[in-house]
Structure 1
Amino acid sequence: MINVTAVFDIGKTNKKFFLFDSDYKEVYKEYISFDEIQDEDGHPTENLKALQEWLKKVFQNILEASEYNIQAINFSTYGASFVHLDENGEVLTPLYNYTKQIDKCIVNEFVEKYGPREDFLKTTGCFDLSLLNSGLQLYWIKHTKPEIFKKIKYSLHLPQYLSFIFTGIALSEYTSIGCHTGLWDYTKKDYHSWVYKEELHKILPTIVSTETSINMNYNGKRIKIGVGIHDSSSALLPYVRSVKKKFVLVSTGTWSITLNPFTDHPIVEDSDAEDSINYMRINGKPVKATRLFLGNEYKIQIDKLSKLFDVDEDYHRHVKFDYDIYSEILHDFKHMFTWEGLIDQDMQKETHISYDNFEYAYHQLMTELVLLQIKSIKDVIGDDDVKRLYIDGGFSDNDLFVKLLSHYCRNMKLRTTDSSLGSALGAAISISDKKLNSKFLRKNYSLKKHVPFIIK
């Protein structure tokens, strides 16, 4: 039998289950997706009952499998989501989707009581006030659904609820609390004063380190069960554990999140920096981050360019960086794109492509997007002395993105990694006593070095 650590990695779309051996190699994987259900207002939300049934079924099947010996289990999930439990541990409400809009008068009332808005956003590391701040969900329930609020024994963030399903023990941990919840005051390193004034601390369980695990007898088997971890913080963990020098990680996908876990100045002083946010490491230390809706914008613009030049929708995947095309574009550079999901002072009022082939237009698009990414990286580095840059996620294998970033960040050592397992692997590592060495990323993440192209 192989000794393994099990991880449930729960995204909004795909729900994945992994088994990792003692060297953190994936030895088993399965995944599923569920149709969303609706909450009482008709807004789409997670099918929590189906998720819970799947978790238990998958885990029971693996426990009975003769080839695996499960020693530990942990959970990585998306953030900004609370599960509210009554005194019997029963779920009281739907898992309210963080995209759900709440009445503006509630937000305005909150700001009036606990503002000014700019000060609140800075101290809590948030970029707006909505259900994307899970703390505001508690305020909203308390003041609009008081009969439900009175029944709440515990409010658990989703990773901790999944752990609760297996342990029956309600706990809080740093990475979920620190994920733009509006609950944490980064200047005081404690819950914000509004949490105490509203007496919400009474329904928030004891805070423990994310490395905490509970030794339990589960169906006759002794297993170490983790308390769960927020997925962005989980994806960062293998880098923090294996890289000894300061670095910045750009985790790309629909959102491009740039993370600086080493800054001495995590609190953003500029109230206009709407895309600057804070996360927390597993030990409670703040992580300064910026976000960019990069993958979303890329998808929109690629769709338009593919139609404009009448090429296959996957054609862009095969375009490689061409120095001569880039030089021509740079010779008399002008911004040509109007963004749909991004705001940028240099963007045009309407898109005007002056090229007659896809390759030139694609190089133009990627140059403009990379310039936005560079700004995001510079904002998160600030005055810190950081010389290493890691890129993971969907854009790590985009030839133009990597070469252009390497060009514009010539003073930094740029590396790409293939971390499709990112958050799942981080969840396994967080409850392990095993130390990672400098070779970990090369062995497990297909680490690649990139050298800036030579300017002719």
Structure 2
Amino acid sequence: MPKPVIAIFDVGKTNKKLFLIDEEYHIVYERSARFVETLDEDGEPCENLESLISSVHDSLHQVQKMQEFDIKAINFSTYGASFVYLDEKGKPLTPLYNYLKAYPEELSAAFYAKYGGEEKIAQETASPILGSLNSGLQLYRLKKEKPEVFEKVKYALHLPQYLSYLITGKALADITSIGCHTHLWDFTKNQYHRWVIEEGLAEKLGEFTPADSSLETNYEGISYKVGVGLHDSSAALIPYLANFSTPFVLLSTGTWCISLNPFNQQPLTAEELKQDCLCYMHFKGKAVKASRIFAGYEHEQQLKRIADHFDRAAYLFKHLKFNPGLFLKLAAKVPENQEPQLKFSTVSAFSERDLNLFRTAEEAYHQLIYDLVKQQIYSLKLILNPGVTRIFVDGGFGKNAIYMHLLAISIPHIEVYASSVSQATAIGTALAINEAWNKNPIPTDIIELKYYSSIQRTV
């Protein structure tokens, strides 16, 4: 008898994956693809939209033929801040522009001057000023720079909703995409921002639809429940929201280390915005206060500096264990370790440290991690609020024993866990429409946890 599953398309900047997930939330099939980027009309690299479209249809055709699976539903998660502009017939009108594309300074200045200034817009839309990463400004740019193309735009869909559109033919908008550093959503009024209405953009964004809803869709003669698609950062939070009701913060670590607090709906202050705080929206439409630092990237750069200085292979540092005695000795060499002064900085103090201060590579690496942890604690405190009792650390630093011990030592009043969810974004995307395809209760063992106990915290 075929196994009931949901098909999840998880589209990142590098890897495009299709997962089949069963009713117990086990991944039972995975297919991955990578595409060579193409160029837009300005010669800037961008997603190969044609290849992506073909891949969605081809992958779905392939799994439809697999007799061991019965696909009940389909959903999508992708990176954010990218629009597909469609004409009356549903045909893309432009390349899928890269959200890292430089934004024209004059156009940016004119926009903020017209609508109240950078600080006002940033506070109302709960997002720092990020250029093209504020995806609403991409649509504004199209209107101002290419009015002849803009006039042909029937719908402007964020990438997750466009992939859903490929299957359903329905143009929809979803709060996890609209509400994430786009400048489109007014968090103070819980509606589209005034500028979106005045510029005539709202009607092009599709029908606003709950992120946990699905459409009964006939695709090539087979009936599926099809989700509206989710922004990937919001999707990765869903397994935690499904399993824990006690207030927590999820610290998602990778190139960026992003602290997500779904239990803090306090408006962002101007000072918080200047320190790289923003708000996401989770799939139930509530604000998720977040802060971020570029710590994963800095870790890689400084690790290389340590490895070169001590003539060690960088990969060896992955196996280092926490050495509390060594950490205590560092206090004599680095006096600020004794009473660390936390402050906002785009890089940690380690970038300025003289490596000749350290006797061994292990000693230098412990100091690097502690400097990154101090920076992380400052970032965490920007979004912590009373009632939060747990921090879950997933991603690369969650596997780093030195980082986890030093984090636990630095916030002794909060329980610290290393956590992992296999393919959290895909699992979260499936969970968002669980009721549409799965008759079973949500499993309680989706998340693996390792607690850093009070004994382990003692130095």
> Deviation at 1:455?
3.4
Corresponding residue number in structure 1 for 2:393: 391
SS in 1 for 2:274: coil
Aligned length: 448
> Deviation at 1:116?
1.9
What one-letter code is carried by the residue in structure 2 that aligns with 1:59? L
Corresponding residue number in structure 2 for 1:163: 164
Q: How does 1:156-305 map to 2 (within 5 A)?
A: 156-270=157-271, 273-305=274-306
What one-letter code is carried by the residue in structure 1 that aligns with 2:366? H
1:249-272: per-residue Cα shift (whole Å, max 9, x none)? 101111111001111414334265
> Deviation at 1:237?
0.9
Contact 2:248 2:388 survives alignment (8 Å): yes
Q: Distance in 1 between matches of 2:449 and 2:106?
A: 49
Q: Distance in 2 between matches of 1:346 and 1:169?
A: 47
CA RMSD in angstroms comes to: 1.9
**Identity among equivalent pairs (%):** 41
Contact 1:387 1:413 survives alignment (8 Å): yes
SS in 1 for 2:64: helix
Aligned in 2, Cα 1:334/1:48: closer, same or farther, shift over 3 Å? farther
Q: How does 1:352-371 map to 2 (within 5 A)?
A: 352-353=354-355, 354-371=357-374
Corresponding residue number in structure 1 for 2:101: 100
Q: How does 1:414-425 map to 2 (within 5 A)?
A: 414-425=416-427
Q: Distance in 2 between matches of 1:54 and 1:454?
A: 48
Q: Distance in 1 between matches of 2:243 and 2:351?
A: 45
Runs of 4+ in 1 over 6 A off after TM superposition: 435-439
Q: Distance in 2 between matches of 1:298 and 1:65?
A: 43
**Please, which moves more after superposition, 240-249 or 258-267?**
258-267
SS in 1 for 2:312: coil
Contact 2:348 2:371 survives alignment (8 Å): no
Structure 2 residue runs of 5 or longer lacking an equivalent are 338-343
Aligned in 2, Cα 1:375/1:436: closer, same or farther, shift over 3 Å? farther
Contact 2:161 2:229 survives alignment (8 Å): yes
Q: Distance in 2 between matches of 1:164 and 1:345?
A: 41
SS in 1 for 2:89: coil
Corresponding residue number in structure 2 for 1:351: 353
Q: Distance in 1 between matches of 2:215 and 2:441?
A: 26
Contact 1:335 1:347 survives alignment (8 Å): no
> Deviation at 1:438?
9.2
Aligned in 2, Cα 1:272/1:74: closer, same or farther, shift over 3 Å? closer
1:386-424: per-residue Cα shift (whole Å, max 9, x none)? 111111112111111111111112111112212241111
Q: Distance in 2 between matches of 1:43 and 1:122?
A: 31
What one-letter code is carried by the residue in structure 1 that aligns with 2:372? L
Which residue among 379, 404, 407 is the counterpart of 2:382? 379
Corresponding residue number in structure 1 for 2:126: 125
- TM-score w.r.t. length of structure 1: 0.94
Contact 2:239 2:446 survives alignment (8 Å): no
Aligned in 2, Cα 1:237/1:454: closer, same or farther, shift over 3 Å? closer
Aligned in 2, Cα 1:335/1:154: closer, same or farther, shift over 3 Å? farther
Q: Distance in 1 between matches of 2:202 and 2:265?
A: 28
Q: Distance in 1 between matches of 2:166 and 2:46?
A: 19
- TM-score w.r.t. length of structure 2: 0.94
Q: Distance in 2 between matches of 1:53 and 1:262?
A: 40
Q: Distance in 1 between matches of 2:347 and 2:92?
A: 46
Aligned in 2, Cα 1:231/1:435: closer, same or farther, shift over 3 Å? farther
1:316 aligns with 2:317: yes
Corresponding residue number in structure 1 for 2:341: none
Contact 1:164 1:170 survives alignment (8 Å): yes
What one-letter code is carried by the residue in structure 1 that aligns with 2:237? L
**Please, which moves more after superposition, 280-289 or 359-368?**
280-289
Q: How does 1:111-150 map to 2 (within 5 A)?
A: 111-150=112-151
> Deviation at 1:347?
3.1
1:330-360: per-residue Cα shift (whole Å, max 9, x none)? 3453579xxxxx9358737843121131100
Contact 1:242 1:436 survives alignment (8 Å): no
Q: Distance in 2 between matches of 1:439 and 1:425?
A: 11
**Please, which moves more after superposition, 405-414 or 429-438?**
429-438
Structure 1 residue runs of 5 or longer lacking an equivalent are 337-341
Q: Distance in 1 between matches of 2:169 and 2:96?
A: 19
What one-letter code is carried by the residue in structure 2 that aligns with 1:343? S
Corresponding residue number in structure 2 for 1:339: none
Contact 2:258 2:292 survives alignment (8 Å): yes
1:328 aligns with 2:314: no
**Please, which moves more after superposition, 428-437 or 101-110?**
428-437
Which residue among 442, 445, 448 is the counterpart of 2:447? 445
1:68 aligns with 2:57: no
SS in 2 for 1:234: helix
> Deviation at 1:188?
0.2
1:17 aligns with 2:32: no
> Deviation at 1:313?
2.4
Corresponding residue number in structure 2 for 1:431: 433
1:285-319: per-residue Cα shift (whole Å, max 9, x none)? 11100011111111111111111111112111111
SS in 1 for 2:20: strand
> Deviation at 1:329?
1.2
